[in-house]
Amino acid sequence: MWAWLFNPDYGLLHRLAPRIDWLGSPWTALHAAILVDVWKTTPFVALILLAGLSAIPEDVYEAARVDGAGRMRIFATVTLPLLRPMVLLALLFRSLDAFRVFDAIYVLTEGGPANATETLSIYAYKTLMRSGDFGYGSALSVATFACVLLLGLGWLRALGRER
């Protein structure tokens, strides 16, 4: 669907802004890929945060209101600290998913133009499948796994840390 929206011949976004070549220039292609990835994963993050908000007891808000706290004070001192684990969990999932993104970028640009949208996953795929260099492609895949593992461990360490 996104490839059709960004299509330079008959795409809706091209009709709305005909002077912009959405997937033809490196700068706009990168931003188009970011837009697609954010659009795709925003509902998941919203559900995680909604689950965190519904887990906060109403008594805490009532106690803050009794103490005379305003809406902004309640948000800053009650909601955000209690929502911190869910925010960090959403950051963990999103950063891991963004690091290894493949599908949206491959469908839109296959890593082009001028390799502007080429991620490590797409580079490993091209090396492994198109070039037939199985050793280097496999090493890239293992390196991707190692990076995702280190990133995940870093976020989990931040999740477990108490203030």
Cα separations in angstroms, 148 against 95, 98, 111? 9, 10, 20
Tell me, what's the pLDDT at 10?
87
Tell me, what's the pLDDT at 81?
93
- For 128, other C-beta atoms within 10 Å of its C-beta total 18
Measured CA to CA, the distance from residue 43 to residue 94 in angstroms comes to 12
Q: What is the pLDDT along the chain (163 residues), one digit of tens a residue?
A: 898 999 888 889 888 988 888 888 899 999 999 999 999 999 999 999 999 999 999 999 999 999 999 999 999 999 999 998 899 889 889 988 888 888 889 989 988 888 889 988 899 999 988 888 999 999 999 999 999 999 989 888 887 776 5
- pTM score: 0.79
Contact residues for 76 (Cβ-Cβ < 8 A; gap 6+): none
- What distance, in Å, lies between the first and last C-alpha atoms of the chain? 44
Question: Could you give all domains of the chain from N- to C-terminal order, each with its CATH number?
Answer: 2-160 (1.10.3720.10)
